[in-house]
Amino acid sequence: MSTPTFAVAIMAAGKGTRLKSKRPKVLHEIGGKALLLHVIAAAKQVVRPGDIYVIVGHEADKVKSAVSAEGTHFVLQAEQRGTGHAIQQVKAFFAASDITPPDHLLVLSGDVPLIRPETITAIRDFHLAQDASMTILTAVPEDPTGYGRVIRREPGSSEALAIVEQKDLKPEQRDTPEINSGIYAFRTASLFTQLDKLNANNAQGELYLTDVASLLVGSGEKVVALEATGGVDEVLGANTIAEMMYLDEAMRMATARRLMAQGVTIFRPETCVIDSSVQVAADTVLEPFVQLLGNTVVGGDCRIRSYSVVQNSTIGERVILRNGCILDQATVANGAILGPYAHLRPESHIGEGAHVGNFVETKKVTLGKGSKANHLTYLGDAVIGSGTNIGAGVITCNYDGVNKHQTTIGDNVFIGSDNALVAPVTIGDGAITAAGSIITDNVPAGSLAIARSRQETKPGWADERRSRLKKN
- Which residues are catalytic, by number? 375
Provide the minimum distance between the beta carbon of 355 and Ca ion in the complex, in angstroms, as a whole number: 51
What are the residues facing 281 on neighbouring strands?
Answer: none
Provide the minimum distance between the beta carbon of 186 and ligand UD1 in the complex, in angstroms, as a whole number: 13
In the complex with ligand UD1, the residue whose CB is nearer, 163 or 185, is 163
Chosen from Ca ion, ligand UD1, none, partner binding at 35 (C-beta under 5 to 8 Å by type): none
In the complex with ligand UD1, the residue whose CB is nearer, 87 or 321, is 87
Largest CA distance in the chain: 115
In the complex with Ca ion, the residue whose CB is nearer, 239 or 389, is 239
In the complex with ligand UD1, the residue whose CB is nearer, 25 or 322, is 25
Residues 312, 192: Cα–Cα separation, whole Å:
45
Provide the minimum distance between the beta carbon of 169 and ligand UD1 in the complex, in angstroms, as a whole number: 11
Chosen from ligand UD1, Ca ion, none, partner binding at 93 (C-beta under 5 to 8 Å by type): none
For 424, the 3-state DSSP assignment is coil
Q: Are 281 and 299 in contact (CB under 8 A)?
A: yes
Calculate the alpha carbon distances from 212 to 139, 198, 260 in Å.
19, 7, 44
Determine phi and psi for 403, rounding to 5 degrees.
Answer: -120, 160
Residues 69, 369: Cα–Cα separation, whole Å:
38
Chosen from Ca ion, ligand UD1, none, partner binding at 180 (C-beta under 5 to 8 Å by type): ligand UD1
Residues 152, 128: Cα–Cα separation, whole Å:
19
Provide the minimum distance between the beta carbon of 237 and Ca ion in the complex, in angstroms, as a whole number: 4
Chosen from Ca ion, ligand UD1, none, partner binding at 110 (C-beta under 5 to 8 Å by type): ligand UD1
In the complex with Ca ion, the residue whose CB is nearer, 239 or 265, is 239
Chosen from ligand UD1, Ca ion, none, partner binding at 12 (C-beta under 5 to 8 Å by type): ligand UD1
Q: Name the CA radius of gyration of the chain, rounded.
A: 31
Chosen from Ca ion, ligand UD1, none, partner binding at 306 (C-beta under 5 to 8 Å by type): none
Provide the minimum distance between the beta carbon of 179 and ligand UD1 in the complex, in angstroms, as a whole number: 5
Provide the minimum distance between the beta carbon of 147 and Ca ion in the complex, in angstroms, as a whole number: 8
Nearest partner of 11 among 72, 66, 87, judged by Cα: 87
Provide the minimum distance between the beta carbon of 3 and ligand UD1 in the complex, in angstroms, as a whole number: 29
What are the residues facing 396 on neighbouring strands?
Answer: 421
Q: In 302-335, which positions are buried (b, 16+ CB within 10 angstroms) versus exposed (e)?
A: bbbbbbbbbbbbbbbebbbbbebbbbbbbbbbbb
For 416, the 3-state DSSP assignment is coil
Strands 330-332 and 273-274: unpaired
Chosen from ligand UD1, Ca ion, none, partner binding at 112 (C-beta under 5 to 8 Å by type): ligand UD1
Give residues in contact with Ca ion (CB under 5 A).
111, 237, 239
In the complex with ligand UD1, the residue whose CB is nearer, 179 or 427, is 179
Give residues in contact with ligand UD1 (CB under 6 A).
11-14, 25-26, 55, 57, 77, 80-83, 85-86, 109-112, 147-148, 163, 165, 179-182, 208-210, 237, 239
Calculate the alpha carbon distances from 296 to 228, 239, 292, 472 in Å.
32, 29, 6, 69
In the complex with ligand UD1, the residue whose CB is nearer, 243 or 347, is 243
Residues 297, 279: Cα–Cα separation, whole Å:
5
Q: Are 188 and 101 in contact (CB under 8 A)?
A: yes
Q: Cα dihedral sign for 397, 398, 400, 406?
A: positive
By beta carbon distance, the residue nearest Ca ion is 237
